[in-house]
Amino acid sequence: MLIFLYGSLRDPVLLGQIAGDPRLGRSLRPARLSGYARVHIGGWSARYASVVRQPGSLVEGFVARLTAPAKPRLIAYEGSSYEMHRVRALIDGQHRMVGIWMARAVTRRVWSDPTDLKRIRMERSSTRHA
């Protein structure tokens, strides 16, 4: 099964370490998920991402082929806060069904990119001390 990666596991070295197989990290291919948006979870100091349905949005990520030995390791890494869903992703110009881990509960704040999150944190910090 192909899995869509949009958060920390996009890092090929980290993916290889967590999966217990460095080849998995080297096999990443670019992919897009239409109709979803990346969001942060866990409040304003969030370090964790998820995706939610949002028409007109797009999440850039990667796909990798999930191997049987890597599956339990990745499930343990994602933890009980995430669950596997099946979605359609665009890979090499073709739509394919892929697995994706999504958080069970997320905020609705869209996380467009890490610099946006840093800006939001600074804005929130400056308003607290005003």
Confidence of residue 40 (pLDDT cuts 50, 70, 90): confident
Q: Which residues are 110's β-sheet partners?
A: 39
Confidence of residue 121 (pLDDT cuts 50, 70, 90): low
Percent of the chain with pLDDT over 70: 75
**Residue in the structure block whose two tokens are 């390791």:** 73
Kindly report the number of other CB atoms within 10 A of residue 77's CB atom: 17
Mean pLDDT for the chain?
83
Total domains in the chain come to 1
At residue 112, the 3 state secondary structure works out as: coil
Confidence at residue 130, expressed as pLDDT on a 0 to 100 scale: 42
64: domain range? 2-128
Q: Do residues 59 and 67 touch, judged by C-beta distance below 8 A?
A: no
Count Cβ atoms within 10 A of the Cβ of residue 105 and give its class: 0-12 exposed, 13-18 middle, 19 or more buried: exposed
Confidence of residue 46 (pLDDT cuts 50, 70, 90): low
The answer to which of 8-12, 38-42, 117-121 has the lowest mean pLDDT is 117-121
What pTM was computed for the model? 0.77
Q: What is the CATH number of the domain that holds 51?
A: 3.10.490.10
Confidence at residue 129, expressed as pLDDT on a 0 to 100 scale: 42
Residue pLDDT, tens place only, 75-85: 999 988 889 99
